Amino acid sequence: MPAHIVLIDAMNLIRRVYAVQERPFHYMDTLSDTTKQQIVHNTIVHTVQAVGKILHTQQPTHILAVFDSQNPCWRYELYPDYKKGRKKMPEHLQASLTAIQDALLELQVDSLISDDDEADDLIATLAIKVALRAQDVTIISTDKGFLPLLCDHIRVFDYFNQRVLDESYVQNKFQVKSTQLIDLWTLSGDSTNKIPGVPGIGQITAAQLLQQYHSLKGVLDAQDLKQTLAKKLQEYKPQMQLYQELLTLKKDIPLGFNLKDIRLNKQIDQQAV
């Protein structure tokens, strides 16, 4: 039977589950310790239930929950405003992560915690390594940053809306192909990560440019652009190079473990990653 590796974007899942558990208490200015403990307990229970459903519906041969590093990743060094203003994880949720990892381990779902990179980079690296062997990968996340990875052997699944985020989804939402998304966000910006893009170019204009010229390079090389647009693009060329680096997931991080280590039922699988 071919392998099917499920990679869970752990903090994407946990923070969304936590938000649902916290919502009934939004009317309170501060949360008591008892309330915090109740919310955390409910978050752990519902996270474990969610992973149990993922195991049931996805039927993976291998599974891994990938967590972010607690240290700022390399993107902050390149661009200090990266994710600026994003709400920090509550301390009581942060303190519960080990308990969540222990609970997942009881389901045979191991956790990978990054030292320096974002979970997204670890997931991308593992997904590409597996896909190159013509084996299937499902990434469990609502993060659009994984969509550029889409291919015959990599898919993205939105657990909360129970839908596959595929090429049709990308085309309907962004009006470009998945292979053009990095160029799209370079031009239009990515508000989620506080990457501004080129001033005056929104998603519609960026998509139109990529439909006509196919890539950012094609846009920059075009000879028939309006003079004001061509001048602006040349002016922002250094910034766009930075944005592309920030938006592109790493695919070459040393992982240091074997697929057999994350195989369900602990069956023998000698494929190294």
CATH number of this structure's domain 4-170+250-266: 3.40.50.1010
pLDDT tens figures, 33-70:
999 999 999 999 999 999 999 999 999 999 999 999 88
pTM for the predicted model, two decimal places: 0.94
Class of domain 172-247: mainly alpha
Query: Does residue 269 surpass a pLDDT of 80?
Result: no
pLDDT tens figures, 65-96:
999 988 888 999 999 999 988 888 999 999 99
Rounded Cα distance between 205 and 175, Å, is 11
Rounded Cα distance between 208 and 215, Å, is 11
CA angle 265, 270, 272 (to 5 degrees): 110
Domains of the chain: which residue ranges?
Answer: 4-170+250-266, 172-247
Domains 4-170+250-266 and 172-247 share a fold: no
